[in-house]
Structures are given as structure tokens and as C-alpha cells.
Chain A
């Protein structure tokens, strides 16, 4: 299975908004609403920030929002803060009952 496609890096200034895309296929993102997003800080385990395409777990800032159109899912972070800097990964369930991650996107807060 192929990894989902994410941009290698994005950047933004404090207070700005950024969007990270995650492109898959008709066998994963295009077929299921089982897209999730994870935030990872250096040396730490990933943390769930979005599940089932659009839902935020309890305790996750409402500055994080997400959507999906066709084979592409998107994560938007508004009101960027220094603490948002880190790596972001998307994930999807697939038609062969597996899970797949995106390659990851490094977010830099300028």
C-alpha cells in the first residue's frame, strides 16, 4: 500500500492560519470517513487531534479543524501558536482492512 501524500513542510507566522493536505486514493480517503490526524512533538509519541475526518477529541483546541473532499483530506490550524510547531500525520483506513499514514508534514511557526 502506498503512503498518503502530504507536503513535507509548511510554515506560518503566529496568529496566521495554515492548511495541510493529505491525498490518498479511492481505496482509502476517497472511500471511507475514517481519516484521522496526529500531532507529534520531537521525542514524543503522536497525539490524536482529529478523528473521523472532522471530529476533535476532548481537550484538543478548537483552533484545529479538518475536512475532506474526494480523495483529499485537509487539516487547518488557525491562530497559529508557537506550541503548534511539530510534525503532523494523517491516517486512513483502507479497503484491504489496513491502516496507512501520510509521510508527515513539518510545521514551522516563524
Chain B
């Protein structure tokens, strides 16, 4: 059974860099079937897709965050990571890592089939 678990600081100072890692257990980030994604949810608000990465290293980012976001993959550790620079209070949110089911024998798909539990990251001095 595949599971996703985030790790990283729960408190980040304004203007600094938010860094989170998602460890994948029971599956491989090197699979061509999936993309690996970050999604966030400010307290009391809706979901916002942040970005995703494919096993090839190809990435796509939310245009509203693109200048500050990097998603990377570490196949040796079976992990993928998020870096968000120059954070402000508006970046305070629960951050989820999620798996996107992308490709199977019937063709292409784009849906989040597996989610982590989520971790609250607060931006405050």
C-alpha cells in the first residue's frame, strides 16, 4: 500500500524559504504512471495546486507561484520536495503532497488518487 508522508519545518520566517519533502513508501517515484504534486490549503480556505513533477524531471507550476516555486525529485531516496522562496503570511497553509494518476493502458488521466495527511506550515516571525 503506497503512502505519502511530508516532513519539514512547521514554522518559517517571512522572506525565508519554505522547504518540504514528501517520502513515498510502498511505491516508486520513478514510475511512468504518475506525476508527483504539491497542493496547499490556507486555513479555512480552498485547495490550491502548487506544482508537480514527472519521473523524467519535467515540472509544471501554478502561474501565480511560478517565480518562487521549485519542485524536485530524489529517486535515490524515493522522495520529492517543494521549495517556496520569499514567503509571506499568505503562504501559511496546510501543505499536501499527492500522487497524480497520469498514464495507464487506456490512456492519459489527470487526477489526484493518493494524498498525504497534510502538514501545517505557518509563516511568522
Query: Within 8 Å CB of B60, what residues of A?
Result: 97-98
B residues neighboring A (CB under 8 Å) = 37, 39, 46-49, 52, 60-64, 96, 100-101, 108-113, 115-118
Give Cα A100 to B48, complex, Å: 7
Q: Is the pair B49, A101 in contact by a Cβ cutoff of 8 Å?
A: yes
5 smallest CB-CB distances across A and B, nearest first, come from A36-B111, A93-B110, A104-B46, A51-B111, A34-B110
Additional pairs, 5, CB under 8 Å, beyond known A99-B100, A103-B46: A45-B96, A45-B117, A48-B111, A98-B61, A101-B47
Q: Is the CB of A100 within 8 A of B49?
A: yes
Q: Show the binding face of A for B, using Cβ within 8 Å.
A: 1, 3, 32, 34, 36, 38, 45-48, 51-52, 57, 89, 91, 93, 96-104
Q: B32 → chain A, closest Cβ, in Å?
A: 17
Which residues of A sit under 8 angstroms from B108, Cβ to Cβ? 34
* Cβ–Cβ < 8 Å partners of B112 in chain A: 36, 38, 46, 48, 91
Given A51-B101, A52-B111: A98 in contact with B47 (beta carbons within 8 A)? no
Q: Which residue of B lies closest to A34 (CB)?
A: B110
Contacts of A97 in B (CB 8 A): 60
Q: List 19 A-B contacts (CB under 8 A).
A: A3-B46, A34-B110, A45-B117, A46-B112, A47-B115, A48-B113, A51-B101, A52-B109, A57-B113, A89-B46, A91-B47, A98-B60, A99-B49, A99-B100, A100-B49, A101-B39, A101-B49, A102-B46, A104-B46
Cβ distance B82 to chain A, nearest Cβ, rounded Å? 15
